[in-house]
Amino acid sequence: MRKIRVLAAKPGLDGHDRGIKVIAAALRDAGMEVIYTGLRQTPEQIVAAAEQEDVDVIALSVLSGAHDYLFPKVMELMRAKALDDVLVIGGGIIPEEDIPGLKSVGIAEVFGPGTATTAIVDYITANLKRQV
């Protein structure tokens, strides 16, 4: 069995990277391979990185409120490239009422403040779309 490959990504201009870095460290400690994009990635850059790195999972993090534009944009580009077997999850400061809309465009799950990293590890492991 190979390692699960995860792209941890910060779309948009948001500089809050404490959460994504903590999650990256936790996923790594759980045996996954994590590629972190760094800050200020456009949706195009994120999707290109996902394709190039051949990842199983994209974990998007936005705390600036721009998730309503950025998450659907990433999903639109994923569909355009037919990257349908990549599990895409999101997190950050995301109001409860926004979650159904994000799920309807293909974000598999949204994790809010206070989520245990173990919950994210378990979710990824249970919901991968590709064989590892």
Partner 1 sequence: MSDFAEKLKAWQAKVDKLAAKHPERKPQFTTISGLPVDRLYLPENPGEDYAAKLGLPGEHPFTRGVQPTMYRGRFWTMRQYAGFASAAESNRRYRYLLEQGQTGLSVAFDLPTQIGYDADHDMARGEVGKVGVSISSLADMEILFDQIPLDKVSTSMTINAPAGILLAMYIAVAEKQGVKPEQLRGTIQNDILKEYSSRGTYIFPPKPSMRIITNIFAYCASDVPQWNTISISGYHIREAGSSAVQEVAFTLANGLAYVKAAVEAGLDVDAFGPRLSFFFNAHLDFLEEVAKYRAARRLWARLMQERFGAKDPKSLMVRFHTQTAGCSLTAQQPSNNIVRVAFQAMSAVLGGTQSLHTNSMDEALSLPTTEAVTIALRTQQLIAYETGVGDTIDPLAGSYYVEHLTDEIERQAEEYIKKIDELGGAPEAIERGFVQREIQQSAYDYQKAVETGSRVVIGMNKFITKEPFTGKLLRVDPQVREDQAAALAKLRAGRNQAAVDQGLAALKAAAQADGNLMPHFLTCVRAYATLGEICDTLRGVFGEYRAPSTI
Helical (H) or strand (E) element with 33: strand 33-36
Minimum CB separation from partner 1 for residue 18, in Å?
5
Binding residues for partner 1, total number by CB under 8 A: 35
The Cβ of residue 44 has, within 10 Å, a number of other Cβ atoms equal to 12
The Cβ of residue 75 has, within 10 Å, a number of other Cβ atoms equal to 22
Minimum CB separation from partner 1 for residue 94, in Å?
9
Distance CA 85, CA 98 (A): 24
Minimum CB separation from partner 1 for residue 130, in Å?
24
Nearest in space to 6 (alpha carbons), one of 43, 41, 49: 49
Span near partner 1 by CB under 8 A; candidates 24-32, 51-59, 83-91, 101-109:
24-32
Of 119 and 132, nearer to partner 1 (C-beta) is 119
Per-residue x/- mask for partner 1, residues 69 to 88, rule CB under 8 A?
xx--x---------------
DSSP label of 74: H
CA angle 107, 108, 109 (to 5 degrees): 100
- Give residues in contact with partner 1 (CB under 8 A): 12-18, 21-22, 24-26, 34, 36, 38-40, 42, 64-66, 68-70, 73, 93, 95-97, 112-114, 116-118
